């Protein structure tokens, strides 16, 4: 059963088309990642799904509700974690959660119980009475998530929930999301951190320039680049004959599988151990000094690079 269906979604701001015909669906209980660089159109897509922005055209359905026609009805099923910290800084964590709970029509003992549960989930029971302004960035992000799950939504949409926080808080948030998903909550997780999406999401959609350029499980996406690993040779900073080096490599490998940038020479290959020796010898013959060798298994970064010619964080 589909929790969310998005069909030919488009959004224009004046002459600029921010989202260009996006299609995807998310099943109930699934965790779906939207991966893409900043400005790719992820947040605009999310805002339309939540009913905050209307699309220029297209269809969005949550369960059997048309979001465009009945946004308020659809919003009852969803919880949204915005990219920014949307909390009241001079109120405590508990006061914030109670306020947002009331906005979702919770009251009385149901509200109290829900707030206690959420505080436990986000690991802030001990700090419940402290003002949010005294929290670290990571703790604020946790309250930001807590405010979205008070009403026990079936679909939780998280827009870059880990931006600018310490590794410990990031791990806590990732574990929390994993736990919620394990309890049956459907998750849509947008990020430009590929490792988070890889860790959390069963299926992933890659967004760039307002388009969904690839979608599938991690292994399916790896297949799109032929499951190629990446051999990275770091070279001396004084190496000057890079053009000659590139020319000599093209005699061994296809041009699209070679990249030279930032004092690194990279080659993509399905079986790196078979070409490693030739690759190193070829570079060394060109008079370039090698400082290190690294082999990277195919990941979302390489998929994105393969699909767009750019790094995710460019």
Partner 1 sequence: MKFLWLALKDLILVARDKKAFLTLIMMPLLLIAILGSAFGNMMKEDEEVSIKKFTLGVVNLDQGQLSKVLTEEVFSKNLSKQIAVKYYQENELNKKIQDHELEIGIVIDKDFSQSLMSGKGTKVQLITVPDTVIKATIVQNVIEQFSRSVPIEAFVSQMSQPVQAGNPGGIDIESYGKKPLINETTIDAKTKPVSSFQYYAAAMGVMFLLMTVVQGVSTMILEKEQDVFNRLLLTNLTYANYLLGKMLGLMVICLTQAFIIIVGTNLLFGVDWGPSVSGIIVMTFAFVVNASGLGVLAGSFIKTEKSFSVAGMFGTQIMAALGGSMVPLYVFPDWAIYVTKFFPNGLALQTYLDLMSGAAFSKILPSIGASVGLGLFFFAIGLMRLSLERRGKYA
The pair of structure tokens assigned to 88 is 């009241």
Provide the β-strand partners of residue 32. 188, 203
Q: Token digits for 74?
A: 């659809």
Cα separation, 139 vs 161, whole angstroms:
12
Helix (H) or strand (E) holding 55: none
Query: 146 or 298, CB closer to partner 1?
Result: 146
Task: Output the six-digit token pair for 152.
Answer: 């026990």
Q: Angle between the 242-250 and 272-285 helix axes, to the nearest 10 degrees?
A: 140
Give the strands of the sheet with 65-66, arranged side by side. 16-27, 2-13, 57-62, 65-66
Binding to partner 1 (CB under 8 A) within 85-114 occurs at 85-88, 90-91, 95, 99-100, 102-105
If one asks whether residue 52 binds partner 1 (CB under 8 A), the answer comes out as: yes
The answer to whether 16 contacts partner 1 (rule: CB under 8 A) is no
Query: Contact 77/124 with Cβ under 8 angstroms?
Result: no
Distance CA 154, CA 159 (A): 16
From the list 33, 37, 82, 298, which residue makes contact with partner 1 (rule: CB under 8 A)? 82
How far, CA to CA in Å, does 192 sit from each of 47, 123, 282, 311?
17, 25, 35, 10
Which residue, 147 or 165, is less far from partner 1 as judged by CB?
147
Nearer to partner 1 by Cβ, of 163 and 280: the residue is 163
Q: Does 84 bind partner 1 (CB under 8 A)?
A: yes
Q: Closest CB to partner 1 among 90 and 250?
A: 90
- Between 122 and 206, CB nearer to partner 1: 122
Cβ neighbours for 17, distance < 8 A, ≥ 6 positions apart: 10, 11, 210
Using CB under 8 A as the binding rule, whether residue 76 contacts partner 1 is answered as: yes
- Candidate ranges 47-55, 116-124, 220-228, 303-311; the one touching partner 1 (CB under 8 A): 47-55
Q: How far is the CB of 84 from partner 1 (least distance, A)?
A: 4
Of the pair 8, 278, the CB lying nearest partner 1 is at 8
Q: Read off the tokens for 16.
A: 């600029």
Region from 19-27, 80-88, 216-224, 240-248 binding partner 1, contact rule CB under 8 A: 80-88
Q: Does 83 bind partner 1 (CB under 8 A)?
A: yes
Q: Binding of partner 1 at residue 72 (CB under 8 A)?
A: yes
Q: Which is nearer to partner 1, 55 or 210 (CB)?
A: 55
Residue 41, burial from CB neighbour count under 10 angstroms (0-12, 13-18, 19+) = buried
Of the ranges 48-56, 168-176, 200-208, 249-257, which one interacts with partner 1 (CB under 8 A)? 48-56
57-62 and 2-13 strand pairing: antiparallel
Instruction: Tell whether residue 129 is a contact of partner 1 (CB under 8 A).
Output: no
Interaction of residue 80 with partner 1, rule CB under 8 A = yes
Catalog residues that contact partner 1 under the rule CB under 8 A.
Answer: 47, 50-54, 68, 72, 75-76, 78, 80, 82-88, 90-91, 95, 99-100, 102-105, 147
């Amino acid at each position: 059963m589909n929790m969310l269906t998005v069909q030919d979604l488009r959004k224009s701001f004046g002459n600029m088309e921010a989202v260009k015909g996006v299609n995807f669906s998310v099943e109930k209980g699934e965790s779906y990642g939207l991966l893409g660089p900043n400005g790719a159109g992820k947040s605009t897509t999310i805002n339309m799904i939540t009913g905050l922005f209307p699309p220029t055209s297209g269809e969005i359905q949550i369960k059997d509700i048309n979001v465009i026609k009945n946004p308020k009805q659809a919003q009852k099923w969803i919880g949204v974690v915005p990219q920014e910290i949307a909390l009241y800084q001079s109120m405590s964590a508990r006061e914030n959660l109670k306020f947002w709970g009331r906005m979702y029509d919770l009251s009385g003992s149901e509200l109290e119980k829900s707030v206690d549960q959420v505080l436990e989930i986000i690991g802030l029971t001990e700090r419940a009475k402290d003002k949010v302004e005294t929290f670290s960035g990571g703790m604020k992000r946790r309250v930001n998530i807590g405010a979205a799950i008070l009403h026990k939504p079936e679909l939780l949409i998280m827009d870059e929930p880990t931006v600018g926080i310490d590794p410990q808080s990031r791990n806590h948030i990732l574990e929390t999301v994993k736990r919620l998903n394990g309890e049956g909550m459907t998750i849509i997780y947008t990020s430009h951190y590929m490792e988070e999406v890889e860790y959390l999401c069963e299926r992933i959609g890659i967004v760039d320039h307002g388009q969904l350029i690839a979608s599938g499980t991690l292994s399916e996406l790896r297949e799109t680049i032929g499951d190629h690993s990446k051999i990275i040779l770091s070279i001396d900073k004084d190496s000057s004959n890079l053009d000659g080096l590139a020319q000599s490599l093209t005699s061994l490998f296809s041009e699209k599988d070679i990249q030279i940038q930032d004092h690194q020479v990279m080659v993509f290959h399905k079986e790196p151990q078979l070409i490693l020796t030739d690759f190193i010898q070829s570079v060394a013959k060109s008079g370039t000094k090698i400082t290190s060798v690294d082999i990277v298994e195919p990941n979302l970064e390489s998929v994105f690079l393969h699909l767009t010619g750019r790094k995710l964080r460019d």
